[in-house]
């Protein structure tokens, strides 16, 4: 049996398994979408309020007050800034490195499982297309067996082929849409954290040049 015959025999098993695979992928994607939505909403805060509180504390030269502002929030923006504030006594270099490190952790936590969502969004149509190809092969086989007559079996095979592509698209579209929405939300939050981090760095550099500030965490 050559490769063509093997592939034909495989196709004759039907595209039902492809549809069940797509259904399973859609269930997993739905679980990820719900979990990520809850996580991002639960870890969200008013970034403008945090920035105003940070700037006010820095204007007063009070790092301890700025830390309290960040401690009052469960957002990743606040965690990133709190990490930087904790290194204020070590100078701008240490603050910048700490901010970058915490930002990387924040991105990794917020993007958890999104790679799977993006992969399904990009490839589900191709999985559906595989089901369509299998359905078309079975349709030609049914046409051959019926000696060119249009039968109920033939129409069922054609319908199955079309349904496979449709299911693939239905799985891919929401996966891509939510993947992009989550990425935009994460980018926006990290951009806001970067903006507050720059406020902190500007303050630390300025205060270092002028001789220090009060209530800063001291280096070990």
For residue 215, tell me if it sits in a domain.
no
User: What is the rounded CA–CA span in Å between residue 63 and residue 113?
Assistant: 36
Distance of CA 212 to the CA centre of its chain: 41
Counting beta carbons within 10 angstroms of the beta carbon of residue 199, is it exposed (0 to 12), middle (13 to 18) or buried (19 or more)? Answer: middle
Mean pLDDT computed over 106-128:
93
Asked, for residue 139, whether it belongs to a domain, the answer is: yes
Q: How many domains is the chain built from?
A: 1
DSSP annotation of 75 reads: S
Asked if residue 29 belongs to a domain, the reply is yes
Domain assignment of residue 220, yes or no: no
Range of the domain at 164: 3-210
The mean pLDDT value for 150-165 works out to: 70
Task: Give the pLDDT band of residue 10 (cuts 50, 70, 90).
Answer: very low
Question: Is 196 inside any structural domain?
Answer: yes
Which of the pair, 166 or 35, is modelled with greater confidence?
Answer: 35
> Does any domain span residue 130?
yes
- Express each pLDDT in 189-207 by its tens digit: 999 999 999 999 998 888 7
State the pTM of this model: 0.80
Supply the pLDDT for residue 115: 95
In a domain, 216, yes or no: no
**CA–CA dist 10, 15 (Å, integer):** 10
Mean pLDDT of the chain: 83
Integer Cα distance of 186 and 182 in angstroms:
6
């Amino acid at each position: 049996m050559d490769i063509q015959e093997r592939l034909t025999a495989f196709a004759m098993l039907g595209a039902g398994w492809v549809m069940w695979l797509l259904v399973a992928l859609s269930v997993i994607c739905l679980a990820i979408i719900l979990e990520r939505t809850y996580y991002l909403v639960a870890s969200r805060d008013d970034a403008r309020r945090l920035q105003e509180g940070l700037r006010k504390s820095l204007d007063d030269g009070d790092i301890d007050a700025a830390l309290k502002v960040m401690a009052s929030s469960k957002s990743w923006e606040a965690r990133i800034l709190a990490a930087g504030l904790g290194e204020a006594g070590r100078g701008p270099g240490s603050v910048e490195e700490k901010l970058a490190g915490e930002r990387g952790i924040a991105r990794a936590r917020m993007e958890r499982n999104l790679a799977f969502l993006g992969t399904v969004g990009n490839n589900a149509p191709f999985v559906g297309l595989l089901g369509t190809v299998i359905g078309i092969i079975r349709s030609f086989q049914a046409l051959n067996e019926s000696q060119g007559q249009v039968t109920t079996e033939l129409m069922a095979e054609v319908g199955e082929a079309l349904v496979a592509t449709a299911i693939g698209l239905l799985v891919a579209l929401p996966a891509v849409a939510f993947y992009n929405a989550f990425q935009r939300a994460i980018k926006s939050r990290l951009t806001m954290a970067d903006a507050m981090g720059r406020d902190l760095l500007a303050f630390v550099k300025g205060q270092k040049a002028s001789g220090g500030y009060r209530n800063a965490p001291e280096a070990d």
